[in-house]
Amino acid sequence: MNISDVAQQTGLTAKTIRFYEDKGIISPPARAANGYRQYSAKHIDELHLIRRSRLVGFTLDEGRELLAFSRDPQRRSADVKAKAEQKLVEIDEKIKELLEMKQTLESLTKQCPGDEGASCPIIEGLCRNG
């Protein structure tokens, strides 16, 4: 199948698919006599795995590692689970940071009169050290 078929089936753009190929993330497709890439069901599976891993927070390099696990018949599910659990810890940390950011910004916003005056607790709060 051609790249536009793959793009339609995976929800990725042709540019993204070529990028993943150029970076060696997916296995290289065969080339037809005319030089066009010929993708298979294996490529669809690889691209789905990469796309879905990105949607749940894994980086591209982590997605590459998960793809390597998917290709390894000797993989241990414990290793895959450990990666997923580590990602959950990172996501929890990021959520905590975002909540702290939100609380700080909410507090500063509540202090600001939002009027025509120059005094602005938001600017003053952002200028303070610590």
The angle at the Cα of 78, spanning 74 to 80, to the nearest 5 degrees, equals 80
The residue type of 5 is D
* pTM score above 0.75: yes
pLDDT(94) > 80: yes
Give residue-wise pLDDT tens across range 9-64. Answer: 999 999 999 999 999 999 999 999 998 999 999 999 999 999 999 999 999 999 99
Instruction: Kindly state the average pLDDT of the residues 93-112.
Output: 96
Query: In this predicted structure, what is the pLDDT of residue 128?
Result: 80
Write the DSSP symbol of residue 88. Answer: H
Q: How far is CA 67 from CA 2, 90, 96, 115, in A?
A: 22, 20, 29, 54
Instruction: Kindly state the average pLDDT of the residues 56-80.
Output: 96
Q: Calculate what percentage of the chain has a pLDDT beyond 70.
A: 98
In terms of C-beta density within 10 A (0-12 exposed, 13-18 middle, 19 or more buried), how is residue 76 classed? Answer: exposed
Q: pLDDT tier at 130 (50, 70, 90 boundaries)?
A: low
pLDDT(111) > 80: yes
